Chains A and B, each alone.
Chain A
Amino acid sequence: MKVVYTDVLVIGGGLAGLRLAVGAKRRGHDAIILSLVPPKRSHSKAAQGGMQASLGNVSKGQGDTEDVHFEDTVRGSDWGADQEVVRMFVNTSPKAVRELAAWGVPWSRVRKGDRQAVINGQKVTLTERDEAHGTVAQRDFGGTKKWRTCYVADATGHAMITAVADRAIAESIPVHERKEALALIHDGGRCLGAVVRDLVTGEVLAYVAKATAIATGGAGRLYRNTTNAVICEGIGHAIALETGVAALGNMEAVQFHPTAIFPAGILVTEGCRGDGGLLKDASGHRFMPDYEPEKKELASRDVVSRRMEEHIRKGNGVKSRFGEHLWLDITLLGEKHIHQNLREVWDICHYFLGVDPVKDFIAVRPAQHYTMGGVRTKPTGESPTLKGLFSAGEAACWDMHGFNRLGGNSVAETVVAGMIVGEFVADFCDKPENAVTVPVGLVQDFVEREKAKLDAIANRRGGEDPSVLKLEMQDLMSSQVGIFRTGEDLQKAVDGLQKLLARARNVGVRSAAPGPNPELVTAYRVQRMIKLALTIAYGALTRTESRGAHFRSDYPRRNDAEWLKRTLATWKSDSDTLPTLDYEPLDVTRMELPPGWRGYGAKDYIDHPDTPARAAEIEAIKASGKAPDRFALQQALMPFEHLLPEPLRGRNERIDEPF
């Protein structure tokens, strides 16, 4: 049995995993990163639009602060987020942009003077201040009060991960590529590493570590129509679930992005609408202002996606042989802007749709896009139930997105969580009591168990076809657990998935060829993916309210009285066919921003009994005038700085808030 030992095992080489590893390494701990693919090919690469940080450099961002970013994020989450974590996040995000700027990310910069822009369908002239010239620029994104999204043309994720992956090389952090974690090694209370399969040789080996971090990104491929890369299959989520100890939070919260090209599902960035693009229907009518007079195309993603589907259901979709879609019109932005700032979008339209977005409309329809749920952690990034297991990035439920994450907040989360959790992982490893002596017997047991499972599949001929199981699962998820959900559909999904789970226990392959064996990979993954799909469907069935991206047509109102709580799912035993659900209430009496109307979307919701008292308390604190400035007021409402690692505390300088 081959065993690799390291201080910190980071499962995932996307932005979150890379940044976390750099943090731990800088504190003197050895880290190894595992990745299915070369790290720069992780899905972080595909982020186009940008990263939110309240720098307030551009004129339309002036007046932006952590406070505004905080409120936008909490409203966006439909009050599902952990507000302390949101505070930690918004305070660190400007530092993250500045760190990346120092590491070489070629952020698009502010140019002083006048420039043309398109806002709400109108051409306008914006004037940038002289003193902002050369600072990092921001663009508009959905669900935000200020222009806050920092960007590198429309290849932000590409530029970020290039810089961060190269930084990891500079720090001599090994990345073990084409290695897949198949199970976490643990003793029921403490995580000690992972069982790993080499995707080139097929060999199974063990990695033992003091701290293990899951940074495996999203699980979009549970759905048929998704913007996610083909490797976003949620195996990181699944192996946490399969411990029976670690919990997954809010898995039913799944985001659908309004503008995936139709039918391929490839994303064109929200920046298209942020920069002034419009949504239009079969008759060329701009329909979003009819539904959302306040934010129009730039309401939050859950709202825009629902309105689009609603509009199609009313018979306004464009019919095509693949089904119905709507149009995204960016022609009004002009050739120069598109070639400079939306170049990736141009490429995608050119190669995959055969159209030129300078002249033609783009066929779009919402598709699965983001996994809000994930491995439940404390603000430190550690699992509250499985010691030594950490998680960061899209795979985690840290939980700053609640039931809907804002565009631009996700790549921001990856690096911010990487910075923060990296420090806490290092703290954990610093403690002598967390040292690990390799528990040979336990490690052997876990390795043997995984090998036996693989052998059983590899030697089964005439079993269930893994690619058929996967397709059926994806179809169930897309048709029954999508944008509009009902109890009836969800029950169908749960029943169907349970049947698939039973069939998946009998999955086989056509060939047991040594080496990569892609069919075997699909087979062992699909068993885990169906469990995860069940966790989503069952969580959605049980949650009889609508919140953020989770919309129940049969329970259309947000119900704070009963549902202001986070779903926690565990999978207790391998013979179970459903997860066990528990709930973690959110405490209104400690919220800085008690629940209310989001400023877009539905206006009626059922209040939590504690909300009026907390709202009054906050008003009283504000009215007392005791707080000399916004920092003191914030501190009085909900202190958070003590939760941040020491090196990341402190205010952020702005042009309008100089030190």
Chain B
Amino acid sequence: MADGTAPRKLIFKILRYNPKVPGDRPRLQSYQLEEADGMTLFIALNEIRDKQDGSLAFDFVCRAGICGSCAMMIDGRPGLACRTLTKSLGAEITLAPLPVFELIADLSVDTGKWMRGMSERLETWVHLKEGEVDLRRIEERMDPDLAEEIFELDRCIECGCCVAGCGTARMREDFVGAVGLNKIARFRLDPRDTRSDEDFYELVGDDNGVFGCMSLLGCHDVCPKQLPLQTQIAFLRRKMVSQGMK
């Protein structure tokens, strides 16, 4: 290695299961790999697939921590594999797919379907005022601080870590998760969205929404974008309580 020491022998224990293969059962499979400088789980998993086992399924896209494709359970904790350096882990590394989401195979899960379902239910888009915007005219002004605040909540990459780390989501299939609640908080803040608290209450004012959260804050701790989920959920809950009492 860079410091002259001999490279570590890493052992990867990977949860394998391909539901498309008749008779296949979930099992832990071990792979050995020599560690290299700057090795990330992205590099390691590709090396295993290229050199040892062409059937190993996992998802990477940007490999830069930007797109959220590669969330998985890394030693039991949800995280982005692409930006996890092997040197931050022990010599034995256990990888498993995110729970809650439908399994595709091995480390690959269908977060896309889940996120689309959540988006449709919560209508995660700006509900515009009547009448089309005249694109030829100067854009509506927005306070620069407000734009930054909205961006702060808009940074969610829908990786699914918060859902995988959430006690409620594991028990309650329709729980919208911190990802959903954060989106509601984001659109609530956005003056371009015409929805009122009454409308938002319709969407998240129940146990599948903001009242389902048990405040265990698994979501907050595992969010790879460090979104302020804890404060946002607490704030949203207060707003929804007062809306509910109206």
Interface residues of A (CB under 8 A from B): 37-38, 40-43, 45-46, 55, 94-95, 97-99, 101-104, 106-111, 133-137, 152-153, 155, 158-159, 162-163, 166-167, 169-170, 175, 177-178, 200-202, 229-231, 263-264, 266-267, 321, 340, 344, 347-348, 351-352, 354, 467, 509-511, 513-519, 522, 648, 650-655, 659
The CA of A472 and the CA of B116, in the complex, are separated in Å by: 39
Residues of A close to B140: CB separation below 8 A: 101-102
The CA of A137 and the CA of B151, in the complex, are separated in Å by: 14
Contact indicator A102/B192 (Cβ below 8 Å): yes
Contact indicator B21/A514 (Cβ below 8 Å): yes
Contact with A along B125-143 (1 / 0, CB 8 A): 1101000010111111111
Contact indicator A169/B139 (Cβ below 8 Å): no
Contact indicator A104/B157 (Cβ below 8 Å): no
Contact indicator A167/B21 (Cβ below 8 Å): no
The CA of A111 and the CA of B112, in the complex, are separated in Å by: 37
- For the A-B complex with A41-B67, A45-B67, A514-B18 known, give 4 more contacts whose Cβ atoms are closer than 8 Å: A37-B61, A177-B113, A348-B65, A654-B138
Contact indicator B141/A352 (Cβ below 8 Å): no
Residues of A close to B190: CB separation below 8 A: 104, 106
The CA of A267 and the CA of B136, in the complex, are separated in Å by: 34
Contact indicator A352/B83 (Cβ below 8 Å): yes
Contact indicator A351/B154 (Cβ below 8 Å): no
Segment touching A, from B50-58, B202-210, B232-240? B50-58
Contact indicator B69/A37 (Cβ below 8 Å): yes
Contact indicator A516/B105 (Cβ below 8 Å): yes
Contact of B142 among A109, A201, A267, A352 (CB under 8 A): A109
Q: Determine the residue in chain A with the shortest Cβ distance to B102.
A: A200
Contact with A along B47-79 (1 / 0, CB 8 A): 001100011110111111111110000000000
Contact indicator B63/A266 (Cβ below 8 Å): yes
* Distance to closest chain B CB from A428 (angstroms): 23
* B168 within 8 A of partner (CB): no
Contact indicator A519/B192 (Cβ below 8 Å): no
Residues of A close to B69: CB separation below 8 A: 37-38, 41
12 pairs of residues in contact across A and B, judged by CB atoms under 8 Å: A101-B140, A102-B126, A102-B133, A133-B144, A177-B112, A321-B2, A351-B65, A352-B40, A352-B65, A352-B83, A515-B21, A517-B55
Residues of B close to A97: CB separation below 8 A: 139
Contact indicator B61/A43 (Cβ below 8 Å): yes
Q: Determine the residue in chain B with the shortest Cβ distance to A231.
A: B61
Contact indicator B157/A158 (Cβ below 8 Å): yes
Contact indicator B113/A229 (Cβ below 8 Å): no
Classify chain B: how many residues form its interface, as a range.
35 or more
Interface residues of B (CB under 8 A from A): 2, 18-21, 37-38, 40, 49-50, 54-57, 59-69, 83, 85, 104-105, 108, 110-113, 115-116, 119-120, 123-126, 128, 133, 135-144, 147-148, 150-151, 154-155, 157-158, 187, 190, 192-193
* Distance to closest chain A CB from B96 (angstroms): 17
Residues of B close to A155: CB separation below 8 A: 66, 151, 155
* Distance to closest chain A CB from B80 (angstroms): 9
Contact indicator B61/A229 (Cβ below 8 Å): yes
Residues of B close to A102: CB separation below 8 A: 126, 128, 133, 139-140, 192
Contact indicator B62/A45 (Cβ below 8 Å): yes
The CA of A194 and the CA of B131, in the complex, are separated in Å by: 37
Contact indicator B141/A109 (Cβ below 8 Å): yes
Which of A158, A519, A659 has its CB near the most chain B CB atoms (within 10 A)? A158
Name the prevailing secondary structure of the A interface residues: loop
The CA of A508 and the CA of B20, in the complex, are separated in Å by: 21
Residues of B close to A37: CB separation below 8 A: 59, 61, 69, 112
Q: Determine the residue in chain B with the shortest Cβ distance to A649.
A: B136
Residues of A close to B154: CB separation below 8 A: 106, 152, 159, 162
* Distance to closest chain B CB from A180 (angstroms): 14
Contact of B50 among A98, A177, A344, A467 (CB under 8 A): A467
Contact indicator B63/A110 (Cβ below 8 Å): no
The CA of A516 and the CA of B103, in the complex, are separated in Å by: 12
The CA of A169 and the CA of B50, in the complex, are separated in Å by: 37
Residues of B close to A137: CB separation below 8 A: 144
Contact indicator A169/B120 (Cβ below 8 Å): yes
The CA of A46 and the CA of B158, in the complex, are separated in Å by: 14
Contact indicator A169/B119 (Cβ below 8 Å): yes
The CA of A37 and the CA of B19, in the complex, are separated in Å by: 20
Residues of A close to B124: CB separation below 8 A: 166, 169
* Distance to closest chain B CB from A232 (angstroms): 9
The CA of A194 and the CA of B83, in the complex, are separated in Å by: 36
Contact indicator A110/B144 (Cβ below 8 Å): yes
Contact indicator B139/A135 (Cβ below 8 Å): yes
Contact indicator B54/A266 (Cβ below 8 Å): no
Q: Determine the residue in chain B with the shortest Cβ distance to A264.
A: B38
Q: Determine the residue in chain A with the shortest Cβ distance to B128.
A: A102
Contact indicator A201/B20 (Cβ below 8 Å): yes
Contact indicator B62/A43 (Cβ below 8 Å): yes
Contact of B66 among A45, A108, A510, A515 (CB under 8 A): A45
The CA of A162 and the CA of B67, in the complex, are separated in Å by: 11
The CA of A362 and the CA of B147, in the complex, are separated in Å by: 29
Residues of A close to B157: CB separation below 8 A: 40, 45, 158
Q: Determine the residue in chain B with the shortest Cβ distance to A175.
A: B116
The CA of A101 and the CA of B64, in the complex, are separated in Å by: 27
Residues of A close to B125: CB separation below 8 A: 103-104, 163, 166-167, 169-170
* Distance to closest chain A CB from B36 (angstroms): 10
Contact of B143 among A134, A178, A522 (CB under 8 A): A134
Contact indicator A38/B126 (Cβ below 8 Å): no
Residues of B close to A513: CB separation below 8 A: 18, 20-21, 55
Contact indicator B62/A511 (Cβ below 8 Å): no
Residues of A close to B104: CB separation below 8 A: 178, 200, 515-516
Contact indicator A348/B136 (Cβ below 8 Å): no
Residues of A close to B66: CB separation below 8 A: 45-46, 155, 158, 344
Contact indicator A266/B64 (Cβ below 8 Å): yes
Contact indicator B116/A109 (Cβ below 8 Å): no
Q: Determine the residue in chain B with the shortest Cβ distance to A169.
A: B119
Contact indicator A518/B192 (Cβ below 8 Å): no
The CA of A122 and the CA of B77, in the complex, are separated in Å by: 46
**Known contacts A104-B126, A109-B141, A518 near B147 by CB under 8 Å:** no
